[in-house]
Amino acid sequence: MGVMGAVFRREFVTYFITPLAYVFIVIFLALAGTLTFFLGSFFDRGQADLQPFFAFHPWLYLLLVPAIAMRLWSEERKIGTIELLLTLPISTTQAVLAKFLAAWAFTAIALALTFPLWLTVNYLGEPDNGVILASYLGSLIMAGAYLAVGACFSALTSNQVIAFVLAALVCLIFSVGGTPIVLEFFTGWAPSGVIDTIASLSFMSNFRAIARGVIDVSALVYFASVIALFLFANVVLVDLYKAR
């Protein structure tokens, strides 16, 4: 097991040592179910698919993913273990990646535990399971983008609450980027090219493409770039903390 494997495993196991994992999973499943059945009118639509389930994922992640990410670096800074971690033979990039991947793996488990919904639609009708699989993958990679934002802000402060609020705020801006809330602010004075760019930088609009069941390469590239960008910022922030 490599250096990154060791850090990954420690981070991952830590979620389950503390009550965080269980609280998170229960709330995630409860909210996912509630939103799907009540706000998403799962039954009334009369269609055997998971569209109403996936449609709410950006909103779920907006609230819950920063909660998983906030402890990644803030806690280390607060207790001082960051000094221990970064004086072990591991590079900052390795540490950032290992922590991110551990949190992502944890999110994947929470997401996988929504499988009863998948069983339900298969019991009720004959959904396109290919579309569902694509949506799940799309949702997971979008969760990665939210996580990368959260991890980055976690490295900015030793206060988990501040890390959470900042991450949630930036996630919100990214989420609603393609909606009238943001676009109307720019309409009228910004050139249409700018408005189109802002619209295309939204988590929602990119996820919508994937959730329809189309593996949209540009959407995947988009989420991968967001992850890469924020993890890079994360590495820079940790290095700045060392060089301060």
Binding interface with other proteins (CB under 8 A)? 1, 3, 5-7, 9-10, 14, 17-18, 79-81, 83-84, 86-91, 242-244
Q: Hey, what's the torsion of the CAs at 140, 213, 167, 182, to 10 degrees?
A: 180
Taking the least distance from each CB to other proteins, the nearer of 19 and 46 is 19
Q: Sign of dihedral through CA atoms 201, 205, 211, 217?
A: negative
Q: Are 57 and 135 in contact (CB under 8 A)?
A: no
Taking the least distance from each CB to other proteins, the nearer of 3 and 173 is 3
Q: How far is the CB of 11 from other proteins (least distance, A)?
A: 10
Which residues are CB-contacts of 242 (< 8 A; sequence separation ≥ 6)? 86, 92
Q: Are 170 and 153 in contact (CB under 8 A)?
A: yes
Q: How far is the CB of 37 from other proteins (least distance, A)?
A: 36
Q: How far is the CB of 3 from other proteins (least distance, A)?
A: 5
Q: How far is the CB of 2 from other proteins (least distance, A)?
A: 8
Taking the least distance from each CB to other proteins, the nearer of 16 and 38 is 16
State how far Cα 22 lies from the chain centre.
18
Which residues are CB-contacts of 12 (< 8 A; sequence separation ≥ 6)? 102, 105, 106
Q: How far is the CB of 162 from other proteins (least distance, A)?
A: 21
Taking the least distance from each CB to other proteins, the nearer of 10 and 212 is 10
Taking the least distance from each CB to other proteins, the nearer of 80 and 193 is 80
CB count within 10 Å of CB 5 equals: 11
What does the alpha-carbon distance between residue 101 and residue 144 come to, in Å, rounded to a whole number?
Answer: 9
Taking the least distance from each CB to other proteins, the nearer of 22 and 115 is 22
Q: How far is the CB of 145 from other proteins (least distance, A)?
A: 28
What does the alpha-carbon distance between residue 198 and residue 192 come to, in Å, rounded to a whole number?
Answer: 10
CB count within 10 Å of CB 206 equals: 27
